[in-house]
Amino acid sequence: MRFQGDLQIEQRRLVSLVREWLNEEKKRGHFTVIAIEEKRTIQIGGLVLNARLDRVDELEDGQHIVIDYKTRKQSVQTMLGERPDEPQLPLYLVMTEAQQQAAGVAFAAVKRGEMGFVAIMRDPDLLPGVKAFSQLNACKQFSSWEDLIATWRQYLTSLAEGFCNGDARVNPKNFPATCENCDMQLFCRIHERIGERSVEQDDENG
Ligand code: SF4
């Protein structure tokens, strides 16, 4: 009986979550979902990757938006830089034929109180509240959409080539934050520096 009760609570929670999400979708103009959970093979710099796209939408003018569902709000910054935390959407965009039709890439945050899209889009207002990439601080270094695509391709190819060439330097992206949840701390000489830094800081403060 208890199991049945838990199931009903979970069912109500999910229905409420989906309703809240659909209210976000209702704010959009006309679109058609043309792919869900689509598997793709992506080749980059000698590396062959199996990717799975959560969703692709087609807008009325034929442009596509590639969407990745998230359980919390992400920043567009996670798709940018030489070592992006979230490379999948840019990778798909720059290494497939999707590039010609792409209006942009978007995270869909499905979390109570944080529902909405965070996206890098070629043009404004294709998703509710989402500006064009050229209006985003995080993208101000790009002179055009083509420049953004070319930079993504360059960074992602460089990462893939580094991987293929055995580049295994211990080089955490955000030291010491990157190390905080790492299982290798015990064996890692870089992680030891966190302790050294706090001793130095104590000495300076003391
Ligand atoms: S603890 Fe070492 S291996 Fe782990 S993230 Fe930090 S530097 Fe990398």
Could you report the per-residue pLDDT of 157-181, keeping only the tens digit for each?
999 999 999 988 888 888 888 888 8
Q: How far is the CA of 206 from the centre of ligand 1 (A)?
A: 29
CB of 178 shorter than 6 A to ligand 1: yes
- Candidate from 66-75, 107-116, 183-192 with smallest mean pLDDT: 183-192
pLDDT of residue 205: 61
pLDDT of residue 103: 94
User: What is the average per-residue pLDDT within 136-151?
Assistant: 96
Among the atoms of ligand 1, which is closest to the Cα of residue 190?
7
| pLDDT higher than threshold 70 for residue 199 | no
Residue 129's region, left for phi above 0, alpha for psi from -120 to 50, else beta, is left
- Taking the C-alpha atoms of residue 166 and residue 13, their distance in angstroms, rounded to an integer, is 46
Round the average pLDDT of the chain to a whole number and report it. 90
- With a pLDDT cut of 90, the percent of the chain lying above it is 67
Q: What are the start-end ranges of the E strands in the chain?
A: 31-44, 47-59, 64-70, 102-109, 116-121
Residue 125, SS3 per DSSP: coil
- Taking the C-alpha atoms of residue 57 and residue 25, their distance in angstroms, rounded to an integer, is 12
- pTM metric for this prediction: 0.86
pLDDT of residue 142: 97
pLDDT of residue 97: 66
CB of 176 shorter than 6 A to ligand 1: no
Residue 85: C-alpha distances to residues 23, 60, 187 (Å): 29, 31, 24
pLDDT of residue 201: 65
CB of 194 shorter than 6 A to ligand 1: no
What distance lies between CA 31 and its chain's CA centroid?
Answer: 22
Q: How far is the CA of 15 from the centre of ligand 1 (A)?
A: 40
pLDDT of residue 198: 61
Neighbours of 134 (CB within 10 A): 16
Per-domain residue ranges for the chain?
Answer: 29-164, 172-206
pLDDT tens track for 73-131? 899 999 999 999 999 999 998 887 667 789 999 999 999 989 999 999 999 999 999 99
| pLDDT higher than threshold 80 for residue 61 | yes
- Taking the C-alpha atoms of residue 6 and residue 98, their distance in angstroms, rounded to an integer, is 42
- With a pLDDT cut of 70, the percent of the chain lying above it is 92
CB of 18 shorter than 6 A to ligand 1: no
* 91's tokens: 């990778």
Q: What is the side-by-side strand order in the sheet with 102-109?
A: 31-44, 47-59, 64-70, 102-109, 116-121
Q: Do 118 and 82 meet the contact criterion of CB atoms below 8 Å apart?
A: no
CB of 185 shorter than 6 A to ligand 1: yes
